[in-house]
Amino acid sequence: MEISAEQMTLIKTHLRVDGDTEDALIAAYAAAAVDYVEKFCDGTLVESLTPVSEDTDPPREVLFTSGIWAAMLLLIGHWYANREAAAPSLTETPLGVEALLIRHRRWH
């Protein structure tokens, strides 16, 4: 999933960032959040699910929802505020992320 320009604007609003100087850093955090969600949920984030046919296995997809978006904003905000690996708060996922994602997780 690619982060759209509109989503990037919302991320910057969430982070309270007005300028463009950190856009590359914020985009990297956004891409990492997509990767985190896809790995946690075990599927590719999509805006609409691929129709399933009877003769093929269903694709490993996760529908992008407002809850997933909220989890991504929490992750991006956490990484933006805590940029150094030495920060003690980096040892845990921000509060609420797993609660927002757990219902989308694929269990084997």
pLDDT digits (tens, 9 = 90+) for 42-79: 999 999 999 988 888 888 999 999 999 999 999 999 99
Confidence of residue 89 (pLDDT cuts 50, 70, 90): low
Mean pLDDT, all residues of the chain: 90
Rounded-to-integer distance, Cα 42 and Cα 62, Å: 8
pTM equals: 0.87
Q: Is the dihedral of CA 50, 52, 55, 58 positive or negative?
A: positive
Residue 86, pLDDT score:
63
Domain 5-47+58-104 has CATH 1.10.357.10: no
Residue 88, pLDDT score:
61
Partners of 46 in the β-ladder: 63
In the block, tokens 């805590």 appear at 82
Residue 52, pLDDT score:
85
